Amino acid sequence: MSDAALTNSSIVANYRDKTPTSARLAEEAGALLPSGIAHDSRYIEPYGIYVEHAKGPRKWDVDGNEYVDFFGGHGALLLGHNNDAVVAAIHEAMDQGSHFGSNHPREVRWASLVSEMIPSAERVRFTSSGTESTHMALRLARAATGRNGLARLKTHFHGWHDHMTSGYANHFDGSATPGVLESVAEQVVLLPPGDIEAAKRLLAENDDIAALFVEPTGGSFGMIPLSADYLAALRDITAQHGVMLIFDEVITGFRVSPGGAQGHYGITPDMTTLAKIIAGGLPGGAVVGRRDIMDALDFAAARADGKEKIAHPGTFNANPVSAAAGIAALEIIQSTDACDKANATCETIRQGMNRVLVDRGIAWSVYGTFSGFHIFMNTQGREIRPDAFNPFDIPFEELKTKNGDVANKLRLAMLVEGVDLMSWPGGLVSATHGQDDIDRTVAAFDKALAMLRDEGEI
Ligand SMILES: Cc1ncc(COP(=O)(O)O)c(C=O)c1O
């Protein structure tokens, strides 16, 4: 936002009034941390809130303000903040030691849960993050196929290692982003999402594609949605051409259903990348997949195949405390209706927010699938009905385009009203969000829109 916009906005002034301690901390942080933050999607102007504690669907900042939280630990917290069973498991593990530098019983139980729940998980290798998981999945795909190239879908996010930087937020032409080698970017082919003919053409013409990565419910958890038919067709054509189909289920895993998106759709990829919910709110991830592919990580199998094993160290792989949290979370998700509950609550939130848009005569829409919601801000001024909006009718570029200043102000106005939206803007709903959270969110959205209207933004 421009300096003038920051100075002249009553939304910004109200936000500053409510959050003086966050402002002071942000100033200190700005002297040390680039932009004062540790993750790009926490960037908000003039500064973000500093949170002290959280429980269930709520969190409280250092000024004592309470928020309905839709960040959900960047999606890690399907069970909400500080789930009692998860916290107890963490304490128990912590008391036994945070790192043994050895195998430990919890990693075996953790892997068996992952394998029971995720259909493609014949073998499991734990990592420390989603980025590490997609990095290893790509390497495994190259080792399995002997090919170099990587196909990805525009707008899909797979972490921040060198092969994954173009084409999710910018550089849609596939060019290298700062610090990435052109020679790496050249190995990446970006496909238009949802266009099966483009994918077919690529695989027919290019016999050097090792893997095709996809966020199975669409870029940013359905912001740019994909159909089940498209996923099924991808399964067919990748199998036909010997290309490894990799579902990046870092968000969707254990969220869409206990078996992730693949469990929901009944489509099994060759490999799957996991993180977030898998570790119950602590750092952790995994790459899982077909045994013959994953055998490239196995000392004996690689030796028997006469192949050099793929090396995979990682100080915090299968950390015992993360394993404990992961086991506790996955056991609950496996044995309860937590995913369905979050999905149903999110549908009610989408409907409630759309009613507000209809009542106020604003041609935006709140859409999404499963436990995610996205706010379409209609930058092209289309004639749409908020409650009858079909994102499949809209080009992906437009779904992705935000009016940054209005989105920033909307998020500030929602914070003033006690709701923390994700930067999409939108949110991820947990199984702990209930009727009171729904009501507060819908009422906050109504007030936030009134504030934006007062400032001439809509
Ligand atoms: C689909 C997807 N893949 C990969 C990642 C990267 O995971 P991490 O942040 O754990 O590195 C994310 C993170 O948001 C993600 O949403």
Say if residue 178 is exposed, middle or buried (CB neighbours under 10 Å; 0-12, 13-18, 19+). Answer: exposed
Q: 199-218: per-residue pLDDT in tens?
A: 999 999 999 999 999 999 99
Q: Are residues 327 and 365 in the same domain?
A: no
pLDDT above 90 (res 7): no
Can you tell me the mean pLDDT for 321-336?
98
Q: List, chain by chain if needed, residues with CB within 6 Å of any ligand 1 atom.
A: 74, 129-131, 134, 157-159, 215, 248, 250-251, 275, 285
Q: Are residues 113 and 68 in the same domain?
A: no
Q: 343-363: per-residue pLDDT in tens?
A: 999 999 999 999 999 999 999
Q: What's the half-sphere exposure (Cβ side, CA atoms, 13 Å) at 164? A: 22
Instruction: Quote the ligand 1 centre to 158 CA distance (angstroms).
Output: 6
How confident is the model at residue 250, as a pLDDT? 98
Task: Please state, for a pLDDT cut of 70, what percent of the chain lies above it.
Answer: 100
Q: In DSSP terms, which residues pair with 219 in a beta bridge? A: 224
401 band by pLDDT with thresholds 50, 70 and 90 = confident
Choose the residue to mutate in 155, 251, 317, 370 for probing ligand 1, maximizing ligand atoms within 8 Å of C-beta: 251
Buried residues in 31-61 as b, exposed as e (16+ CB within 10 A): eeeeebbeeeeeebbbbbbbbeebebbbbbb
Q: Which atom of ligand 1 is nearest to the CA of 132?
A: 11
31 band by pLDDT with thresholds 50, 70 and 90 = very high
Q: Which atom of ligand 1 is nearest to the CA of 75?
A: 14
Average pLDDT, the chain: 97
How confident is the model at residue 206, as a pLDDT? 98
Residue 13 CB partners (closer than 8 Å, separation 6+)? none
215 contacts 252 by C-beta, under 8 angstroms: yes
Last residue of a domain, one of 335, 354, 378: 335
Q: What totals of helices (H) and strands (E) does the chain contain, helices first? A: 18, 16
Q: Are residues 215 and 238 in the same domain?
A: yes
- CA–centroid distance for 49 within its chain: 21
In the chain, % helix, strand, coil (3-state, to 5) comes to: 50, 15, 35
Say if residue 368 is exposed, middle or buried (CB neighbours under 10 Å; 0-12, 13-18, 19+). Answer: buried
pLDDT above 90 (res 3): no
Can you tell me the mean pLDDT for 227-250?
98
Q: Are residues 48 and 97 in the same domain?
A: no
Nearest alpha-carbon partner for 275 in 313, 249, 295: 249
Q: Are residues 99 and 11 in the same domain?
A: no
Helices (H), 283-335: 291-294, 299-305, 320-335
432 contacts 458 by C-beta, under 8 angstroms: no
Last residue of a domain, one of 280, 315, 335: 335
How confident is the model at residue 391, as a pLDDT? 97
Residue 393's domain comprises 3-81+338-454
Q: Are residues 40 and 175 in the same domain?
A: no
Report the C-alpha dihedral over residues 81, 84, 85, 86, rounded to 10 degrees.
Answer: 30
Task: Please state, for a pLDDT cut of 90, what percent of the chain lies above it.
Answer: 97
Q: 42-91: per-residue pLDDT in tens?
A: 999 999 999 999 999 999 999 999 999 999 999 999 999 999 999 999 99
Q: Are residues 38 and 60 in the same domain?
A: yes
Instruction: Quote the ligand 1 centre to 20 CA distance (angstroms).
Output: 32
Last residue of a domain, one of 335, 367, 383: 335
First to last CA, the chain: 16
420 contacts 430 by C-beta, under 8 angstroms: no
> What distances in angstroms separate CA 451 from CA 221, 266, 397, one per listed residue?
28, 45, 28
pLDDT above 90 (res 184): yes
d(CA 346, CA 360): 21
Instruction: Say how many domains are in the chain.
Output: 2
CATH of the domain at 54: 3.90.1150.10
Q: 121-151: per-residue pLDDT in tens?
A: 999 999 999 999 999 999 999 999 999 999 9
Q: Are residues 268 and 354 in the same domain?
A: no
Match 């707008």 to its residue by tokens. 155
Instruction: Quote the ligand 1 centre to 159 CA distance (angstroms).
Output: 5
192 band by pLDDT with thresholds 50, 70 and 90 = very high
Q: What is the largest CA-CA distance in the chain?
A: 71
Supply the DSSP string of 372-410, one letter for each residue.
EEEEE--TT-----GGG--GGGS-HHHHH---HHHHHHH
Match 């290019």 to its residue by tokens. 206
pLDDT above 90 (res 174): yes
State the DSSP H helix or E strand holding residue 123, giving kind and residue range, or none if neither: strand 123-127
pLDDT above 90 (res 438): yes
Q: Are residues 111 and 64 in the same domain?
A: no
Can you tell me the mean pLDDT for 165-188?
96
pLDDT above 90 (res 236): yes
Residue 195 CB partners (closer than 8 Å, separation 6+)? none
Q: Are residues 328 and 402 in the same domain?
A: no
Q: Are residues 244 and 170 in the same domain?
A: yes
Q: Which atom of ligand 1 is nearest to the CA of 156?
A: 1
Q: Which atom of ligand 1 is nearest to the CA of 275?
A: 10
Q: Are residues 179 and 295 in the same domain?
A: yes
Can you tell me the mean pLDDT for 244-263?
98
129 contacts 278 by C-beta, under 8 angstroms: no
CATH of the domain at 107: 3.40.640.10
Choose the residue to mutate in 126, 158, 163, 322 for probing ligand 1, maximizing ligand atoms within 8 Å of C-beta: 158
